Structure formats: structure tokens, C-alpha cells
Structure 1
Amino acid sequence: MKHNPFVWIEIPVNDMARAVAFYEKVFEFKIQLVDFGGLKMGWFPNAGDAPGATGTLIQQESYIPSQEGPLVYFYSENLQNELDRVEDAGGKILHPKTQISEDHGYMGVFEDSEGNRVALHSNA
């Protein structure tokens, strides 16, 4: 395989301003707002040639936030840092930091400000 399977990830939102505020507070990075003729997007930072995919918050009537769909994992140096900011940002912890195994690191899951189920992964 020449590249990772995921190229782009879209997280549906109902309220772009609220979602941007939530993700910027939890991850401590800036999101770039873009409007493509009514299709509102909040682009996550792109680290260029670094491993992994980037993505966007997306607001349009055909995108509906849910805990039912695929689970997206964000990379973290130590996911407890982000989990510690989730509730203050308006989200809810669904699964605390838990070791997967010694070889595979840790995971945690939260509900974002829009009702999406989102996960974190870190080696520490």
C-alpha cells in the first residue's frame, strides 16, 4: 500500500460556530472556515506530508450529526489532555482513557457539541 486508506474525513454539524468553538478548545488548534455556495466547511489543520488524513466539519442539510455512523479517531500525543477539555467545551465523555494493549496504546471516546461520537488514540 502506497498511502493510508483514508484521504479525507467529514464530521457533520448543525451549528458551525458552536462546533468550531468546541474543536478549537478541545484540540487547541485553529479551524479555517470556508463556504462553497451554502456548503459550510471548517477545515482541520493539514500537516502536509505527515502520516494520517485530515478533514473538515461540514454543515449542509444532507449532513446529519449522529452517534450511529463510523467512528473517527483523532491522533493525540496523550489523549487525556483532550479528554480533560471536552466537558468544558460542551461535550461529554463516553469512554475514558483506556489502554488497548501495551503494543497499541490508548483510546477514549467523547460526544462532541453536535452529538457526534468521536474517538482519540495515543501511545501514551
Structure 2
Amino acid sequence: MENLKDAIVWAEIPVLNFERAKAFYSSILNCELYEQMMGSLRMGFFPMDPESKGVGGAIVQGHGYTPSALGTKVYLNGGKDLTKVLNRIEPANGKIIQPKTKITDEIGYFAIFEDTEGNHVCVHSPD
């Protein structure tokens, strides 16, 4: 990984019901997802500061995008304490698969949830 700042630069979460998924992620992350068509794909972009050149991502509906509990896991930013995000998952019709779990003092905490589309997604925070 010579000369690479970040190994991951983008993530896409497949969805079948775009409106339901957009409402879910907007609710649990307490943010608006910017929606745009990219060719035949309907995309809802997670907030990202373009100045920081950080990792971004989107929910995506279209051919070849099938939700699954199997495969690659995406870790969303849970803010300072992911408990706030976790408290909004079940009211938004998601399911907590693994509760807040300490990784190490230095790395922080993670949890896994199932979204409204059947994807298993992770969330991380330092506290």
C-alpha cells in the first residue's frame, strides 16, 4: 500500500426500497441523504466533508445491487458515542445484531445492525 493514504475510498449499501432505506439511514444517523440519479442508479449520498477528503458512501438502488446479510461489512461513523445511533435503529425498523462492544481502549467500540433492506452494517465510535 505504498503511497496510499487510505485503503478504502468509497462504500455503497445496496437497497431495494429506496425511500424506506433513505428514511432509515436519515433517522439513525440524524442527517439528510442527498439523492441523485447516476446513470440508471438511484443514489442517496451520506454526508461527507469534501475539504477533508475522507471516505464517502451511498445507498444505491439499481441493477446489480442486492441487499445481503453476507459479504463485506461497511463501518459507519457512530460519532463520539455510537449509543445514540443504536438507540434510533429499532424505532426506525432496523434490528441490532450485535450490541455495542468494546474492541480495545485505543480503537473504541463497534456494533452491528440489520437495516430495513436486510444488509448487516457496522457502526464504530471511540466511546
Query: Given that residues 6 and 52 in structure 1 are in contact (C-alpha distance below 8 angstroms), is that contact kept between their aligned partners in structure 2?
Result: no
Task: Find 1:56's aligned residue among 45, 51, 58.
Answer: 58
Distance apart, 1:51 and its partner CA: 6.3
- Stretch deviating more after TM superposition (36-45 or 106-115): 36-45
Structure 1 unpaired stretches of 5+: none
User: TM-score normalised to the size of structure 2?
Assistant: 0.92
Number of equivalences: 124
- Please give the alpha-carbon distance, in whole angstroms, between the structure 2 residues aligned to 1:40 and 1:51: 23
How far does residue 50 in structure 1 lie from its aligned partner after superposition?
2.7
- Taking only aligned residues, the RMSD between alpha carbons, in angstroms, comes to 1.3
Residue in structure 1 matching 2:81, options 67, 75, 78: 78
What per-residue deviation string (whole Å, max 9, x for no partner) do you get for residues 67-119 of structure 1? 11101101121111100000000100000001111121111110011100000
Separation in structure 1 between the aligned mates of residue 44 and residue 8 of structure 2, nearest angstrom: 18
Tell me the equivalent position of 1:112: 115
Instruction: Give distance in 1, aligned partners of 2:6 and 2:39.
Output: 30
What residue is the counterpart of 1:14 in the other structure? 16
- The residue identity in structure 2 corresponding to 1:82 is V
Please report how far the alpha carbon of residue 36 of structure 1 lies from its aligned counterpart in structure 2 after TM superposition. Answer: 2.7
CA distance in 2, matches of 1:105, 1:119: 13
TM-score, length of structure 1 as denominator length: 0.94
* Matched position secondary structure for 2:86: helix
Q: Could you tell me which runs of 5 or more consecutive residues in structure 2 were left unpaired when the two chains were aligned.
A: none
